[in-house]
Amino acid sequence: MPRTALLLSTVLLLAVVSPTASRAADDPLPVPVDRFEGEVPFASQPAEGIFAWGGDSDDPPALRLTARADAPEGEKVLTGAYDISGYGGFTHDFAADRPAHDWSAHRGVRLWWEGRNTGGKIPFEIKDGGANGEASELWTTSFTDDFTGWKQVELPFADFVYRTDYQPVGGIDHVLGLDRMWGYALTLPVGVKGDFAMDDVELYGRADQSLRATVTTDAAVYPVREGGTATVSVTVATTASAPLDEPVTVAYATADGTAEPGRDYTPVSGTLTFPAGTASGATRTVTVRTLRDKPAETAETVPLRLTVTGAKAPAETPEIVVDANGLPYLNARLPVRTRVADLLSRMSLKEKAGQMTQAERGAVGEGADVTAYELGSLLSGGGSTPTPNTPEAWARMIDGFQLRTQATRLQIPLVYGVDAVHGHNNLVGATIMPHNIGIGAARDPQLAQQTGSVTASEVRATGVPWDFAPCLCVSRDERWGRAYESFGEDPALVQSMETVVQGLQGRADGRDLKNDDKVLATAKHFVGDGGTAYGSSTTGTYTVDQGVTKVTRQQLEAVHLAPFRTAVDRGIGTVMPSYSSLDVLGDGRGPVRMHARADMINGVLKGRMGFDGFVVSDWNAIDQLPGDYPARVRTAVDAGVDMMMVPYGYKDFTSALIGEANAGRVSRQRIDDAVARILTQKFRLGLFEHPYAQTRHASEIGGAAHRAVARRAAAASQVLLKNSGAVLPLRASQKVYVAGSNADDLGNQTGGWTVTWQGASGAHTRGTTILDAMRKDGNVTYSKDASAPTSGYDVGVVVVGETPYAEGVGDVGNGHSLQLSAADRNAVDTVCAAMRCAVLIVSGRPQLIGDRLGAIDALVASWLPGTEGDGVADVLYGKRPFTGRLPVTWPRSEAQLPINVGDTAYDPQFPYGWGLTTLTRAPAGGAATLRALGVAAAAAERAGADGAGRALVAKARLIVQQKAGADLTAAFARPFADADHLALTGRYGAALRKLGEAYRAA
């Protein structure tokens, strides 16, 4: 007998013999959504169809319709294979050009799933309201694959919750209406290779009011000072906001918690009634009065049990919390060291493990696990944002998580972290600075500090007190996908830009961290991530990132450790180890992952350098260590990692750490050291006194004053590499032909780590493109691909370069190269053949120009200038001079890589430190003037007059560059680059001698 006939006969039999089945017969017949017989094609919006998706090119599952003899319904089922590293799944969207579907008459949605008994959760979401399936509101639930073979899985609509980690249009009304449905999506497991089969998605059952109406409270936690009164608001709401068909009653009563009735609070009980016809959104209140008792005690809880009839009950039992009071660690007048010691002495092992744990906001939902696991920290990974993505929503979200900490015994606040690597880059509308490579090109420590100050102000105003920046890597290979996160290839340049630490944190002693415009900074990635060798990575398809840095001890100290010494001296609050491995030649250990190098973290960073902040791991970095999971935890903690970033694995980490401590394999002393370091920074940040968002500066986010700083930084970052015939600056009277892929693309201009982890082309935040800015200053005609006629113009400006990427995804050899695209090369060739031309390269690293340089009159390295294209136009039109200098060597060919200042063989297209200027003339006198400048520079060096020394070197550089012209030889390039390094280290006399050598070679 076919399976479908067997199933049908079974259902009919149950209808005869079972009273329950007889009542179910009153339900409407199931309504098919997907039979997977071919009636719905593989297609995407606007047509109706099924389509796969994922975080990168490898993540979308391979889908097909497969004929199966055991198909639960029909002849075919949907099958797929997957191997997902980021995220992936598939969607069925209904046609966008037809009316949405109405599912409100049904109890839920169900499907047949072929179980593999993995025990994993399978998220399933439905799409409600909005314009179409990709512009709707997402509601999610999940089922557990804890069975083998086919099983029909029922998902009642009452179980679906609003998705908090992502909403495509920022949310609509936060109500599951069910009357405007656009389909469903299913997310597949991550980190395991597998396959799946499913069949027959359908709507089932009859809806009743208990499914359409929901009772909620205005919060899950109600902290109140001892003796105060808590007020709990109870609200009833319905799908589609219809009035109640039937009455809803809510019986309430205080229940047993850690507080003692009659001593800590006055018990209450009663019933709230919402009669039939009550409008959706109606609210009643319950008050609970607390009592004064002991003069000093930890927090105590009073659950308020709610029993709901006629509607869905709240997901959580609300808790009134009588605040901790009178304990020394709560006394802001005591020294931080005293407060830490007192708090640490009161903590259990579980509470200490929680402080050492950092989870992703998307993993904790509404935040109940913040309380349950007593978590010390949350983060937003790249692109993990609230909806809508506004300053107000960020503050509400973080305040909601902080509220959860108040339900813990000791009420230790969270420290929330983000990767604000060039401004508050996850926030739409924030001021986006040039990436670090552009800040390095600007060579202005004061400006670097100002960019840090703006970033700190905007980040803290959204409730975030911790920034995973700056990156202090010394980038030694432009093929690295993180090269733009570095200030440059010279450790002296990186050190000089570390004024950004003071911009973020304030004074080195930490006294400013409590201010509402400062954040805790992070020096990353310790140590050597910029030195990983091409081809050494073992992470997926990466070629450079997370690879091996092989150095001598001397190279390690001079190149990679030097910036961290400076950061410690500047009072950096946290340090993040690198994913990469370190292979110190001669130590006999070979490559060892940095998260396992106790000799470097405990020995060098905390010991020799005296770092007194805390060390936080990178995202899931412990998973790359050898051994089973408890061994990895033990290795990382013993190596000196104080807080573990385990975004979705926080339960496993806390359990493993507690187990290792109880077994004596991780010492209590080591745990106490880690927790003390973490608590110290929380006290310095003032989080115990002000755990919630301090939004005084929120109105300044993306404001004119902040954008003015970003505009100056963008202008200062522009490096003029060539300027034959003084093509630049442009004149307002000139007719300018603008072309190229990056002239009018804000996403390409801002690069990776902008709104999302990888960034994206197009207008995804607010700012000014280079083209928009040029139009304000001159007579401009734009043709992206240079297909418009080119006659009649005075000059052409072609803006080309890269599209966004981040981390190893951007490694050369991993789908990326240093060559301009074919379209960009065509635009350059077309425009430069027709008129005098300036080419701007918007990129995170040098691009290979090759023999095209001869046809280009002016060449500008624009790097990734951020949201303020006006800064680029400022130097193009002469409002500001070009002053930027190369922070990295510009190679002639990829065969030269890696190539860096100080190399024995050094013959680049443009040397490190090269950068022409405009609006400033070179001093006259040639060699004689150089000799005089050299004498003065040596005197300035002896006198410790750094400002004078730098000014003398700058004058000499103008003389040398003017003589060199555009034909730069190896004999010229090496001493020229060396001079820039020497000047950064304060050796002005030696720098002048090297410039003299370059002058003679020019």
DSSP character at residue 894: G
**Contacts of 935 by beta carbon, 8 Å cutoff, 6+ apart:** none
Nearest to 311 by CA among 455, 397, 214, 235: 214
The vertex-869 CA angle with 864 and 872, nearest 5°, equals 80
Amino acid (one-letter) located at 269: S
CB 155 within 8 A of CB 109: yes
Q: DSSP E strands: which ranges in 94-147? A: 108-116, 121-128, 137-144
Q: What does the DSSP assignment read for 149-175?
A: EEEEEEEEGGG-EE-SS--TTS-SSS-
> In angstroms, how far is CA 242 from the centroid of its own chain?
40
CB 568 within 8 A of CB 610: yes
The vertex-233 CA angle with 227 and 234, nearest 5°, equals 135
- Residue 660: strand, helix, or coil: helix
Q: How far apart are CA 595 and CA 611, in angstroms?
A: 17
Q: How far apart are CA 978 and CA 984, in angstroms?
A: 10
Q: How far apart are CA 554 and CA 367, in angstroms?
A: 47
**Residue 300, both tokens:** 């105590």
CB 363 within 8 A of CB 650: yes
Q: 618 an active-site residue?
A: yes
Cross-sheet strand order for the sheet of 300-309: 221-224, 319-322, 300-309, 248-254, 269-274
Catalytic residue among 467, 807, 811, 868: 807
Q: How far apart are CA 778 and CA 781, in angstroms?
A: 10
Q: How far apart are CA 822 and CA 814, in angstroms?
A: 18
115 phi and psi angles, rounded to 5 deg: -75, 145
Catalytic residue among 444, 517, 618, 811: 618
Nearest to 732 by CA among 881, 918, 874, 838: 874
Q: How far apart are CA 491 and CA 564, in angstroms?
A: 10
| Cα distances (Å, whole numbers) of residue 994 to 579, 905, 906, 960, 981 | 38, 16, 15, 10, 10
CB 983 within 8 A of CB 950: yes
CB atoms within 10 A of CB 663: 10
Q: How far apart are CA 113 and CA 200, in angstroms?
A: 9
| Cα distances (Å, whole numbers) of residue 96 to 44, 127, 398 | 10, 12, 35
- Residue 919: strand, helix, or coil: coil
Residue with tokens 């050492």: 356
Q: How far apart are CA 408 and CA 704, in angstroms?
A: 42
**Contacts of 455 by beta carbon, 8 Å cutoff, 6+ apart:** 420, 422, 423, 424, 431, 433, 467, 469, 503, 504, 519
CB atoms within 10 A of CB 206: 12
Identify the burial level of 489 via C-beta atoms within 10 angstroms of its C-beta, where 0-12 means exposed, 13-18 middle and 19 or more buried: buried
Residue with tokens 């799933």: 113
Q: How far apart are CA 186 and CA 883, in angstroms?
A: 53
Q: How far apart are CA 520 and CA 514, in angstroms?
A: 9
Q: How far apart are CA 754 and CA 361, in angstroms?
A: 18
CB atoms within 10 A of CB 75: 16
Give catalytic residues, as residue numbers.
618, 807
